[in-house]
Amino acid sequence: MIMKTYFVILIFFGFISCTKQAAYGPDTEKPAIQVIYPLDNPTIISGSPLCMKVLISDNKSLMNVWLQVNDGQGFKKEYAIPGRSIDIIEKYITQPGTTGNLYAKFFAVDEAGNLNTAEISFSVNN
C-alpha cells in the first residue's frame, strides 16, 4: 500500500512539473510595436521635424530598441530600456536639402532574441 501511494505521488508531481515546464517554455513572442502617430504618411518640408509616437512592449523583457531613418545621413538612435515597455516620443529633423520618400523604422529585440520592426513612411519636399 505504501508503495502504491508513493508511486501515485511521483506521478502527480511529475505531471505538475511537466505542466509548469510547458507554461514557462522558451519565449517565441516578438515585441509589440504600436505607432500612435503619424499614421497618414505625412509630407514635411526639408529641415522641419517629423513628430512620432510609438509604444513598444514585450511579454517578458526588452533588450534593445532603436530607430533608423533612411535619410542618407545614417541616422540611428538607441533608447534606454526601463523593462517590459517603453513609450517613445521622437522629433526627427530632416537635414536641409533632403527630399523624397523616406521611412523611419523602429526596431525592438527582446531578451530571447525575438525581433520586430515598424515603419513610418513620410515624404520630404523643398
Assign 3-class secondary structure to the chain.
CHHHHHHHHHHHHHHHHHHHHHHCCCCCCCCEEEEEECCCCCEEECCCEEEEEEEEECCCCEEEEEEEECCCCCEEEEECCCCCEEEEEEEEECCCCCCEEEEEEEEEEECCCCEEEEEEEEEEEC
For residue 91, tell me if it sits in a domain.
Answer: yes
For residue 2, tell me if it sits in a domain.
Answer: no
For residue 99, tell me if it sits in a domain.
Answer: yes
Model pLDDT for residues 87-115, shown as the tens digit of each residue: 999 999 998 888 999 999 999 999 999 99
For residue 47, tell me if it sits in a domain.
Answer: yes
Model pLDDT for residues 59-91, shown as the tens digit of each residue: 999 999 999 999 988 999 999 987 899 999 999
For residue 72, tell me if it sits in a domain.
Answer: yes
